[in-house]
Each structure stands twice: as structure tokens, then as C-alpha cells.
Amino acid sequence: MARGQVYNSTYGHYWHGLKQDPAGVRCVAFQTSFIRATRFLAGLELHELPKDFPNVEEVKLRSLSELN
């Protein structure tokens, strides 16, 4: 039997017909964890933490169109 890796996240739900990306999807922490998890599963080097990564004092949101 083949062995694989699984990543599961309930963050970042996206519903059909939304006029803008939901805050959960625009959250820099979510975007970073999603990118890092998929790179880990692919056996690639982990993505660096962005300079605008949120901290305990403020939330950082970024449009999906701003992703590289």
C-alpha cells in the first residue's frame, strides 16, 4: 500500500458568488501556512515568513492577487 502525506485545514473557506475574498483567505498567516504546508508535502524548501506576517498586536490582510 502506498504511503503519502495529508494536509487538512478548515481555514479559508471560499463561497461561490462572493464579491471579495473572505478575510480568512486574505489573512497573511493563513496564506503563509497554506504555502508552507503544500511545499512541505511536495518535499520542497519551506517558504520564508513574509515581512508583513501578523503579530499579536495586529492582523494583516492581503488580496489573493498580491500573492507571487
User: Rounded to two decimals, what is the model's pTM?
Assistant: 0.75
- Residues 32-42: tens digit of each pLDDT: 998 999 898 88
Domain ranges for the chain: 23-66
Length of the chain in terms of residues written? 68
* Beta carbons within 10 angstroms of residue 27's beta carbon: 20
Q: What local confidence, expressed as pLDDT, does residue 47 receive?
A: 76
Q: What local confidence, expressed as pLDDT, does residue 2 receive?
A: 53
Place of cell 503519502: 4
Contact 53, 60 (CB under 8 A): yes
